[in-house]
Structure formats: C-alpha cells, structure tokens
Amino acid sequence: MAKGEKSWEKRLSGKSDPKAVAFVESLSYDRRLYAHDIAGSIAHARMLAGEGLLTSDEFDQIADALRRISEEITAGRFAFDPVHEDIHMAIEAALVERTGDVGRKLHTGRSRNDQVATDLRLWMREEIDRMCGRLGDLQRALVDLAGRYAEAIMPAYTHLQRAQPVTIGAYVLSFVEAFERDRGRLRDTRRRVNICPLGSGAVAGSTLPLDRHSTARELGFDDITHNSLDAVADRDFCAEFLFDAALIAAHLSRLAEDWIIYGSNEFGFLTIDDAYCTSSSMMPQKRNFDLLELIRGKTGSAYGALVAMLTLLKAQPSTYNRDLQEDKIHVFAAADVVAASLEMTAAIVGGTEFHVDRIAAGMSQGYLEATALAEYLVSKGVPFRTAHGVVGSLVAECEKTNQRLADLPLERLQAACAAVGADVYETLDPATVVRRYRTEGAAGPRQTTERLAFWRRELDAR
C-alpha cells in the first residue's frame, strides 16, 4: 500500500496533495484524546462481541492490542505518522498493523462522526472534574486567607468610590461565592456532557444489532442520545463548557484587577509574595504584579474560544460537517488557559498579606459611616429618604471644612435632625459599624465567621 493511501478509502482515486493532507490533519492536537478513543474502542468491541459480531478471541486480540498502543503513547514510544490525519485513524492503523483483519472489524457499526463525539464527551467529563478540583483548591486558599482577617476591616467600593466598611474576610469570601457558582455551572454542564452518542454511526444509526446501552454503561454515561442526526452534530456541550470557562476567567480577572489595584502604592492594601512578582528591566525600584496581569490578559483567550465556537456552530447545515473538527482547538485552548490561571491564582492567594494597620489608619476617609448614620435616623423614626438627604447635606458640609462626621458637635447634628441623640457617635466609627450589621450575609465579623465555618465544612466534605 502506498504511503498516504488509506486502506478504507476506495471512493477517491489518486494521491492526496501534501498541502491538503497538512490542511485537514488534526492529529497534532487531538492526540490528547488517545486514552478516551481507546476506552471507547474497547467498549465498542466488547459490545460487538456480545452481539456476535466479534468472537471472544477477536475481542481479546483487539483489546490487548489497544491497551499496548495506549501504553506506548503514554510512554512516548508511539510513532505518530502525519499521514493518519487524526488520532482515531492513527490508533486504528496501528491496530490493523498488529492484528490484521481482526483489527479491521473494530469499526463495524461505527463512524468517526459518533466516535469523535464520544471521545470529546469522555475527555470533557474528566476535564470538568479536574477544573472543579482546581476551583476547590482556589476556594480553600481564599478561605484560609479570609480566616486570617475575619474581623479586620477595609473599605468596600462601588463605582471604585469608597462605600461602606466591611471585614477583609467578607471581601475575600466574595470570590469563594463566585467560584462556587462556576463550580455549579460546570457540574450542571457535566450532566449534559454525560450522554453517549456512540452507535449513532455517521448520521442514521446502523442496520446491525448494536447494544448502545451496554456501551454507554461501560463508559460511565448516564444515558444515550436518542436521535442519531442530532447526536453527531451536537456541540452545544462544547459551547456550554466554553461559556463556563470564560466566566471562570472573568472572575479570575476581576480578582487579579482588585489585587493589582490594592497592591499599588496609592492603595497599599496588600502585598503578594515575591515569587509571583517581576522586576523592571530599567527601573530598579519596581515590583510588578505581572502574573496577575497575565491572568487578567489570558481572559481574552477564553473569551475568544467561546466566540469562535459559537461562530463555528452558527451556520452548520445538518448534520455532521468537517467544520466541527475545529471544535477541539478552542475547547482545549480554553481548558488549558483556565487550568493554568486557576492554579496560579491559588498560589498567589496563598502568598497574599493584607496590611491591616495601614488600611485601618485610612478608614476615616470617604465617609464610610454615612449609610449607617442614615439608618440610625431611620431607627429613630425618620423616613429613609429624609434621612438620606440629612446625611448627604452633612457630608457636603464636612467636605468643605475637611472634617469627619464624627468631628461634628452634637448640637450641629441635632440641628440637622432633631431625632439625633447622644448615642449617635456609636454609628460614626467604621469599626463599630461593621459590628452592627444584622442582616444574614452581611459583611460584618459575625457573618464572616459564620460563613467561614460553612465553607470549611463544605470544602472538607468534598
């Protein structure tokens, strides 16, 4: 057989143009599916034997050869030939070389269309589990960091303007909540991934007696697909996974943005370990948060993969088209960049220190207690909108005289609102304000401690 000729391809005559071979190949990137392809092939062969389409001896030959191929690929001893355009053909060619006509029986009742759809689902199922594990590692690092600052206070910001006082622990735990939503989305996606398309064939199924349920059970799927046309075309699960990855990247980017801002000289709220900083090639004083900047920048790659996948799907005629070969480029790229960013963020969080004294020294700036003062007036029977206006006027007055609200004498406060009593000054200290938060989920030390206990239990249980 001439090099470049496929034993199974008799419809076309002549040799392929080498440029065409290079253009259509996916072996350079889909080889990472080898273990899943072999697992699916063994399950398919076992089903064929169960239906009498293979003898038990033929099944044993196929399974043994496939396991040896898997071992060789894992060990780096397998010689990939570019003439085999994808991992499926590379493995099948090696199988046929070792077992002859027995190996040629493996593809009975199967197409590369349902084969690759199965392989990709098997890979993605494992990748989701790995990604959930990395999210858990990051959550643990954040919980550990929050536990060190459960009562220390900092300003919270809206519109990047000082808003209200919160505990540092509550701020850090806010990211734990976001990453938990990411984990929930991935687990939900996993349910839709875990459906087996094997046995759908090229598009219409097979006239052979294939037991699709037995194959699905062996591969750990929850169910089979129920329309062969849809099964070979469906890449919704890829788009969904990429959306999940993109949103994880967005949350990582927001954390990175905060840390970069809070680590600047202008803020001075935190420091990260030198292991995760770089220096300048020109300015000797610089200590740059480059790794955080890269985490922020790599978000664009995750977004790009999602947009590319949606674009790939938007004009696909039914059912399978070769365009879908490109799905793996985007899925693998996003998975890799998010995995690396999750691991790096967890490491950075583990080496982060908040400067509690410096933050506390600046808590008198920005009138962080203003909302608490308005709510104090509400507790005295003043309508909230009226209280809002009273406090706003007092803040404007203090800004002109460079005073704090706590600097105003009682007589001035009472002149602004007769409901003010001598106890008003208890609401004018940010450290006191955070202890007065009463609502569940608020950013006070009591709520922070309660949520820390919850997350420690939850993460330990996993």
| Adjacent-strand bridge partners of 195 | 223
127 and 100 in a common domain: no
The answer to whether residue 263 is domain-embedded is yes
Q: Which helix (H) or strand (E) holds 354?
A: strand 352-354
CB 333 within 8 A of CB 305: yes
> CA-CA distance, 409 to 107, in Å (whole number)?
88
Residue 315 lies in a domain: yes
Same domain, yes or no: 175 and 99: no
Q: Are 326 and 186 part of one and the same domain?
A: yes
Task: Kindly give, in sequence order, each residue whose CB lies less than 8 Å from that of residue 380, ignoring residues fewer than 6 positions away.
Answer: 419, 420, 421
Question: Residue 195: CB partners within 8 Å, gap ≥ 6?
Answer: 121, 221, 222, 223, 224, 225
Whether residue 449 lies inside any domain: the answer is: no
**Domain-located, residue 1:** no
86 three-class SS: coil
Residue 459: inside a domain: no
Phi-psi region of 152 (alpha: psi -120 to 50; beta: other; left: phi over 0): beta
Q: Report which secondary-structure segment, H or E, holds 155.
A: strand 153-158
User: For tokens 């980017």, what's the residue?
Assistant: 253
**CATH number of the domain residue 407 falls in:** 1.10.40.30
Q: How far apart are CA 292 and CA 297, in angstroms?
A: 9
User: CB within 8 A of 190, min separation 6: which ones?
Assistant: 125, 128, 129
Pairwise CA distance, residues 460 & 224, whole Å? 34
Residue 374 covered by a domain: yes
pLDDT for residue 9: 57
Cα(201)–Cα(114) distance, integer angstroms: 6
Question: What pairs with residue 156 in β-bridges?
Answer: 164
Residue with tokens 């990395």: 134
Q: Are residues 127 and 236 in the same domain?
A: yes
Quick check: helix, strand or coil at residue 281?
coil
pTM for the model stands at 0.93
Residue 223 in contact with residue 216, Cβ under 8 Å?
yes
Cα distances (Å, whole numbers) of residue 457 to 143, 170, 205, 295, 462: 11, 17, 48, 29, 9
- Cα separation, 422 vs 401, in Å, equals 23
> Do 176 and 314 belong together in one domain?
yes
CB-count burial class (<10 Å; 0-12, 13-18, 19+) for 345? buried
Q: Examine the domain organization and report whether 91 and 215 are in the same domain.
A: no
Exposure string for 406-428, b = 16+ CB within 10 A, e = fewer: bebeeeebeebbebbeeebeebb
Q: What DSSP letter does each residue of 43-64 carry, written as one string?
A: HHHHHHHHTTSS-HHHHHHHHH
* CATH code where residue 286 lies: 1.20.200.10
Instruction: Render each residue's pLDDT in the chain as its tens digit; 462 residues.
Output: 344 445 555 566 667 788 888 898 999 999 999 999 999 999 999 999 999 999 999 999 999 999 999 999 999 999 999 889 999 999 999 999 999 999 999 999 999 999 999 999 999 999 999 999 999 999 999 999 999 999 999 999 999 999 999 999 999 999 999 999 999 999 999 999 999 999 999 999 999 999 999 999 999 999 999 999 999 999 999 999 999 999 999 999 999 999 999 999 999 999 999 999 888 888 888 889 999 999 999 999 999 999 999 999 999 999 999 999 999 999 999 999 999 999 999 999 999 999 999 999 999 999 999 999 999 999 999 999 999 999 999 999 999 999 999 999 999 999 999 999 999 998 999 999 999 999 999 999 999 999 999 999 999 998
The residues, ordered by sequence, that sit 6+ positions from 265 with a Cβ below 8 Å of its Cβ are none
Nearest to 24 by CA among 84, 108, 112, 95: 84
| Measured CA distances, 72 to 40, 88, 233 (Å) | 18, 15, 32
Q: Phi and psi (nearest 5°) for 352?
A: -105, 140
pLDDT for residue 280:
81
Contact of 315 with 266, CB cutoff 8 Å: no
90, 37 Cβ separation under 8 angstroms: no
Q: Are residues 96 and 159 in the same domain?
A: no
The answer to whether residues 80 and 141 belong to one domain is: no
Domain-ending residue, one of 331, 361, 391: 361
Give yes or no for a contact between 61 and 233, defined as CB atoms under 8 angstroms apart.
no
Indicate the number of domains in the chain: 3
Q: Is residue 455 part of a domain?
A: no
Structural domain boundaries, residue 93: 18-108
Question: Which of 87, 108, 129 is at the close of a domain?
Answer: 108
450 in a domain, yes or no? no
Is 334 buried (19+), middle (13-18) or exposed (0-12) by CB count in 10 A?
buried
Domain-terminating residue out of 56, 84, 108:
108
d(CA 425, CA 206): 81
Is the domain of 198 the same as that of 68?
Answer: no
Residue 18's pLDDT is 84
Same domain, 354 and 389: no
Mapping DSSP to helix (H, G, I), strand (E, B) and coil, where does residue 8 land? coil
Task: Judge if 102 and 129 occupy the same domain.
Answer: no
What is the pLDDT at residue 1?
38
Residue 95 shares a structural domain with residue 117: no
Q: Which residues are annotated as catalytic?
A: 159, 280
